[in-house]
Amino acid sequence: MAITQSPLLTSQDLAVRIGVTTLFEGLGLTLHPGDRLGIVGPNGAGKSTLLRILAGLGKADSGHVAWRTGLRKAYVSQAISFAAEDTVRDILTTQLKSIFGTDAAQKAQSKYENHLAKLEENPDLGGDEKWLSELDKLQHTLDAEHSRSVDIPNAMGGAVRVAGLEELADRQVRHLSGGQQKRLQLIHALISQPQLLLLDEPTNHLDVETVEWLEDILLELSESGFQMLGVPLLDEEPEPIAMAIVSHDRSLLDTMANRILEISAGDIQFYSGNYEAHAVEKVRRMEEARTRNQRLANLMRRELAWLSRGPAARTTKQTARINRAAVLEVNLKSAERKASDKPKVELNFAAAMDSRERDASDYWISVKENLGSQLLFDLEGITLAHPGGAGKPLLMKQLSFKLKPGMRLAIVGPNGCGKTHLLRLLAGQLQPESGLCKRHDLIKISYFDQHRKELDPNKTVRSSICPEGDFVHTSQGYVHIMSYLEKFLFSRHDAERSLKNLSGGEQARVLMARMMLEQANTLVLDEPTNDLDIPTLQGLEETLVNFTGGVVFTSHDRYFIQRVATHILAFSGSKKDKDGESYQWTLVPDLEQALSLLSALNPAKTSAAKEEKKSAEKIAKTENESADKLNKPKLTFAEKKELDKIEGQIPPLEEKLAAATEQLNAGYSAGLAFTELQERQKRVSQLESELTSLQERWEVLYSKL
């Protein structure tokens, strides 16, 4: 759909500074209906700060933001702000009442009746245009309020169904998992039918199933609007919803975003398209910059060669050339510094890792005791009890699998199904109820704890990794601690910061840096991707794919799982037998099959799929019967030629419309004169009209086939 509506939001020259550090400046941004902006960049770059400014909850140091009058916007933060003792039903009912309750309708009715009462007191008002105009307005408001009134209990039931919280409607927030709280938070925001939805790290700490649910909801929202909620629409002619999403989840950005904003080291770059398009375009820009810098360096060398010829060449007439050499030197250093600040980007979103070019910034870890093809783990009939004790299902029963060097096993399932307990068993921190967990005599395990309990919050980054001296011992020999920290994106300033003052992602990088000095041959990683930005995720992926030992890990990041895992152990529901209930696990070859298993466990989703299939079959049967009865005519020769011609005309016209729309959006961003914007708007409308006519004629002709 072409974007022709007026902007929802426009910002100009936004700048944010923390002390002497500039996060970004000169940022201009326009969001129209239907825009889905993905905001990416390293941790601490200012992404969440920008989102709060766009939501009207924060203020920039300079610049301003203008919102369309009456704009409905919803900001979904990383933190859950509901009262812990409130239930799901309480929260959604309150929100529904505030939007669709009877109070507004009663007030409108009262105003309407009071206005009519004036006519009884003064019959002459019946001919007064001002009184009649006010009566029309009050009638329109009353009709609108009545049309929006809903049965609150039924609407609440629909909201919990969409959220997948039917069985938890009376549960307090304090007893909901993180994923369940995020579902509640999003549905609560959507009930207000925002025209602009702002999401700050919506996938953080969610299990894979909830991330899939979130993506499905956002897709349906962008394609069909708010009909899925089963409540009256607040707008007679709804516009496509606009979104701004801060996320490190590349799969989500690849599915949802149609534009990317990258903020890194104060640099601002916009990219058209989704995450994959952004990655391709970023590589192209980096190649261009490299060529540009090379030309600048060559020119600099020629200037320096001239300057080195001696005093005879340096007459007053050559002052300009000497000044130019100085300017060139400044420009070259600036370009080199900017290039070094930019994080490495993937060359291809879906491509294999074996052809990736490596550089000095990649993570690396070697195996001290390479065990070849020998078994690292051999689990035979493992049974593990639930930490909740008697009456709870067994986390696993008679589970068996083997792990060899080169295998990278991802454990996938909803929160609370026992993933972390299985990892702790492998790491030797738990013992099974029954069964054997055999380990190779020479196995050396590094365990990554998602809660980071091993870190001392009072230590500095440097002392946590290198308690004594200035060097750490790696597979490549002794390396200075500062050089080693740089590989994990820590600067010299960061080295002396206390761990308690670090973000979650920074603490995770410290733990990785420590872990990779252990030179283990088996890595057991519990949610290593939590809080990590995209450059860090890329480095971790590269490390694990090139690791020659064995890896067992859990993660909610679907793209990370797809890139790293060679095998997947997926939660596949529960089973009851004479000994009680136990959770079931299935070894599958890829993430798609794992997600299918998880999807089948969701009764609401399965039921909806069955209903959808039944409805589709019924419609198809009706259409076939109707077609037989109607005996529709076939295409004539002339119509067949016309259909072929139209099919050739539509794609170029769509390209012209996209280009014209882009020019219109650029005009808004550049603040062009109103007359110029009108001309561009007129061109877009004309192309839209032509395209609509062609598409309608195509449908008529195609229906005869």
Helix 275-307 / helix 319-341 crossing angle, nearest 10 deg: 150
Nearest Cα neighbor of 184 from 212, 154, 161 is 161
Lowest mean pLDDT among 38-52, 248-262, 598-612, 683-697: 598-612
pLDDT of residue 116: 79
pLDDT of residue 85: 92
What is the pLDDT averaged over residues 261-285?
90
Phi/psi of residue 597, nearest 5 degrees: -60, -45
Percentages (nearest 5) of helix, strand, coil residues in the chain? 50, 20, 30
The letter for the amino acid at 480 is H
pLDDT of residue 353: 29
- What integer best gives the mean pLDDT of the chain? 80
Q: Which residue has the higher pLDDT, 623 or 268?
A: 268
Confidence of residue 619 (pLDDT cuts 50, 70, 90): very low
pLDDT(8) > 50? yes
What is the pLDDT averaged over residues 394-418?
91
According to DSSP, residue 412 is labeled E
E strand segments, 514-592: 522-526, 550-554, 567-577, 580-588
pLDDT of residue 364: 46
Give the separation between CA 273 and CA 536, rounded to whole angstroms: 23
Confidence of residue 663 (pLDDT cuts 50, 70, 90): confident
Give the separation between CA 588 and CA 593, rounded to whole angstroms: 7
What is the pLDDT averaged over residues 422-439?
91
Give the separation between CA 477 and CA 75, rounded to whole angstroms: 49
Confidence of residue 301 (pLDDT cuts 50, 70, 90): confident
Q: Are 519 and 365 in contact (CB under 8 A)?
A: yes
Give the separation between CA 572 and CA 164, rounded to whole angstroms: 18
Give the separation between CA 503 and CA 380, rounded to whole angstroms: 40
**Residue 199 CA to its chain's centroid (Å):** 8
pLDDT digits (tens, 9 = 90+) for 131-141: 888 878 877 77
pLDDT of residue 615: 47
Phi/psi of residue 76, nearest 5 degrees: -105, 105
pLDDT(604) > 60? no
What is the pLDDT averaged over residues 523-531?
89
Q: Which residue has the higher pLDDT, 63 or 228?
A: 63
pLDDT of residue 506: 82
Lowest mean pLDDT among 2-11, 22-31, 272-281, 468-477: 2-11
Give the separation between CA 698 and CA 643, rounded to whole angstroms: 6
pLDDT of residue 411: 95
Lowest mean pLDDT among 170-179, 517-526, 659-668: 659-668
Beta bridge partners of 448: 525
Q: Which residue has the higher pLDDT, 421 or 236?
A: 421
Lowest mean pLDDT among 73-87, 316-330, 387-401, 641-655: 316-330
- The model's pTM is 0.68
Beta bridge partners of 31: 9
pLDDT(219) > 60? yes
Give the separation between CA 309 and CA 295, rounded to whole angstroms: 22
pLDDT of residue 331: 62
pLDDT of residue 493: 84
Give the separation between CA 325 and CA 328, rounded to whole angstroms: 5
pLDDT of residue 322: 58
Give the separation between CA 172 and CA 3, rounded to whole angstroms: 42
Lowest mean pLDDT among 245-259, 529-543, 609-623, 645-659: 609-623
pLDDT of residue 635: 65
**Residue 260 CA to its chain's centroid (Å):** 11
Q: Are 58 and 52 in contact (CB under 8 A)?
A: yes
pLDDT(507) > 60? yes
pLDDT of residue 147: 58
Task: List Cα–Cα distances, 401 to 282, 381, 426, 436, 572, in angstroms.
Answer: 42, 9, 12, 11, 16
Lowest mean pLDDT among 456-460, 479-483, 544-548, 653-657: 653-657
According to DSSP, residue 634 is labeled P
pLDDT of residue 360: 33
- Tell me the percentage of the chain whose pLDDT exceeds 70: 81
Q: Which helix (H) or strand (E) is 29 found in, with range?
A: strand 21-31
Longest dimension (CA), the chain: 105
Q: Are 634 and 644 in contact (CB under 8 A)?
A: no
Lowest mean pLDDT among 188-202, 408-422, 448-462: 448-462
pLDDT(321) > 70? no
pLDDT(660) > 70? yes
Confidence of residue 184 (pLDDT cuts 50, 70, 90): very high
DSSP string, 48-92: HHHHHHHHTSS--SEEEEEE-TT--EEEE-SS--S-TT-BHHHHH
What is the pLDDT averaged over residues 136-162?
76
- Tell me the percentage of the chain whose pLDDT exceeds 90: 30
Confidence of residue 231 (pLDDT cuts 50, 70, 90): confident
pLDDT of residue 106: 65
Please name the residue that has the structure tokens 């060529």: 291
Confidence of residue 145 (pLDDT cuts 50, 70, 90): low
pLDDT of residue 105: 64
pLDDT(618) > 70? no
What is the pLDDT averaged over residues 443-458?
84
